[in-house]
Amino acid sequence: MQVIILTAGQSSRFWPLNQRHKSLVKIMGKPLIWYTINGLEKAGIKEIIIVQNQKKEIERELTLHRIYSGAGQIKYVIQKKPTGMGDAILEAENLLKDCFFVLNAERIDAGDYINEILNKFKRGKCNSILLASKTKTPWFFGILKVKEDKVLEIIEKPKKGKAPSDLKVIGIYFLPKEFLIYLRKFRGHQYSFEKALSFFAKRESIKFTVSLKEPPSLKFPWHLFEIKNFLMKRYLKSEIANSAKIAKSCQIENKIFISENCKIFENVVIKGPCYIGKNCIIGNNSLIRESTNLENSCLIGANAEVKNCLFQENIHTHSGYFGDSIFGKECRIGAGLITANVRLDRKKVKPLVKKERIDTGFKRLGTIVGENTSFGIHCSLMPGVLIGSNCQIGPNSLVEENIEDNIIFYTKFKGIKKIKK
């Protein structure tokens, strides 16, 4: 059985964390695509085809970490331009043998459903099966129009109140090679896959199976919190490396993983579940709590509090409060930074994405920051603010709105200055 994993998309809705493909965000020391491949391997998949872009960043990452260690193999093909999911599948056409799975790289739970779909395939004498789940926000997804267990059509992002059902496609498809004939009819269209699938459904039999649990999604960057918690529950082990140096006055509670060569100074409190990667340093009197994930070489200064955060590699902070926030790698953070994570009116936080306010469903959400951004001392960041990569935020700045990539931003007296680098 073959699986096509799609990794060539631009992930524009994932800004400011889309400097690389979103499946390369790391949790517990491994990129998300590792968990996808690991699950497929456990489900018995022995051949994977990865469609990547010309940067080949996925191939480099997997090769560097020797991620796929099973009896099978990974083959790579290039999609030169991000012209949609359908065109990506056609790039793998010459490698396909028969029926195949298609899924997105960040579908970390894919291995849970492979055998369920194959069993339906064997029972139902149907060679086309989709996985679906119920949603309360159908306008964000491809929605199924169905009759009993048969798919009649897929409506891409229907307008509010116009959805044919509450069943969303969750990105795992089992298809015959003959489907490519239909796919070629719509080649070059942004939604060629969805159009071909609807066209195919009217002429052939496509069935669906519904996941009883809500699979974690990864359309927007704040979805990483749900994925982080899902992976910690499944993979986190309570372990402290022998090479870690931990002061006797430290307090460590619940499930905690502390990796090699970490230094934890006096009076630090760590309340799990938490993951602390290699070569991390946590300064005196700091508090790390509630599902925080620190990747390799992070430095948390003295007197800091970090709650439910995801820090990528090599982030340096001083004192401050970091709540329900995500920081891309190589960020530098001056003393006294505060991430506000709750609105004064206690309503749900709604970040601005592509000029539209998106309801996260969260009453607690701090900031999300791209890579290589620096903050001066005493900065304040309002709930749900998104800050791009390669920015400089000046001392004493109050950030109330999104800041694009490559911006120098600072508040001076009563005025605000933004300077494009």
Tell me if 22 is assigned to some domain.
Answer: yes
Do 260 and 160 belong to one domain? no
pLDDT at 292: 98
pLDDT at 69: 45
Cα–Cα separations (whole angstroms), residue 201 to 26, 81, 88, 151, 381: 37, 27, 20, 6, 48
Question: Which residue, of 223, 253, 272, is where some domain finishes?
Answer: 223
Provide the domain limits for residue 355: 238-420
pLDDT digits (tens, 9 = 90+) for 239-249: 999 999 999 99
pLDDT at 417: 58
> What CATH number should be reported for the domain holding residue 129?
3.90.550.10
Which has the closest alpha carbon to 418: 395, 393, 400? 393
Tell me if 116 is assigned to some domain.
Answer: yes
pLDDT digits (tens, 9 = 90+) for 73-84: 889 999 988 888
> What CATH number should be reported for the domain holding residue 348?
2.160.10.10
pLDDT digits (tens, 9 = 90+) for 170-197: 889 999 999 999 999 888 777 788 888 8
Work out the percent of the chain whose per-residue pLDDT is above 90: 65
User: What tokens were used for 167?
Assistant: 């069943």
- Residue 270: pLDDT band with limits 50, 70, 90: very high
What residue has token string 């739970």? 109
pLDDT at 70: 47
Do 147 and 262 belong to one domain? no
- Residue 125: pLDDT band with limits 50, 70, 90: low
Over residues 122-142, the mean pLDDT reads 83
Tell me if 159 is assigned to some domain.
Answer: yes
Tell me if 324 is assigned to some domain.
Answer: yes
Question: Which residue, of 193, 223, 253, is where some domain finishes?
Answer: 223
Do 117 and 152 belong to one domain? yes
Tell me if 228 is assigned to some domain.
Answer: no
Output 214 or 307, whichever has higher pLDDT. Answer: 307
pLDDT digits (tens, 9 = 90+) for 7-58: 988 788 899 999 999 999 999 999 999 999 999 999 999 899 999 999 999 9
Q: How far apart are CA 228 and CA 292, in angstroms?
A: 9
Output 124 or 261, whichever has higher pLDDT. Answer: 261
- Residue 412: pLDDT band with limits 50, 70, 90: low
247 CB neighbour count, 10 Å cutoff: 13
pLDDT at 200: 87
pLDDT at 71: 41
Do 341 and 214 belong to one domain? no
Do 208 and 332 belong to one domain? no
- Return the half-sphere exposure (C-beta side, CA atoms, 13 A cut-off) of residue 31: 24
Do 166 and 246 belong to one domain? no
Say which residues have a Cβ less than 8 Å from residue 415's Cβ, sequence separation at least 6.
Answer: none
Say which residues have a Cβ less than 8 Å from residue 215's Cβ, sequence separation at least 6.
Answer: 107, 109, 133, 170
Do 202 and 254 belong to one domain? no
Residues in the chain: 421
Do 200 and 58 belong to one domain? yes
Q: How far apart are CA 254 and CA 237, in angstroms?
A: 11
Count of structural domains, the chain:
2
Tell me if 29 is assigned to some domain.
Answer: yes
pLDDT at 366: 98
pLDDT digits (tens, 9 = 90+) for 325-382: 999 999 999 999 999 999 999 999 999 998 899 999 999 999 999 999 999 999 999 9
Over residues 92-101, the mean pLDDT reads 93
SS (H, E, C) the chain: CEEEEECCCCCHHHCCCCCCCHHHCEECCEEHHHHHHHHHHHCCCCEEEEEECCCCHHHHHHHHHCCCCCCCEEEEEECCCCCCHHHHHHHCHHHCCCCEEEEECCCCCHHHCHHHHHHHHHHHCCCCEEEEEECCCHHHCEEEEEECCEEEEEEECCCCCCCCCCEEEEEEEEECCCHHHHHHHCCCCCCHHHHHHHHHHHHCCCEEEECCCCCCCCCCCCHHHHHHHHHHHHHCCCEECCCCEECCCCEEECCEEECCCCEECCCCEEECCEEECCCCEECCCCEEECCCEECCCCEECCCEEEECCEECCCCEECCEEEECCEECCCCEECCCEEECCCCCCCCCCCCEECCEECCCCCCCCCCEECCCCEECCCCEECCCCEECCCCEECCCCEECCCECCCEEEEEECCEEEEEEC
**Bridge partners, 317 (sequence order):** 300, 333
Do 283 and 213 belong to one domain? no
Do 243 and 216 belong to one domain? no
Tell me if 230 is assigned to some domain.
Answer: no
Tell me if 199 is assigned to some domain.
Answer: yes
Question: Which residue, of 166, 189, 223, is where some domain finishes?
Answer: 223
Q: How far apart are CA 199 and CA 196, in angstroms?
A: 5
pLDDT at 77: 94
pLDDT at 169: 86
Do 168 and 202 belong to one domain? yes
Do 136 and 277 belong to one domain? no
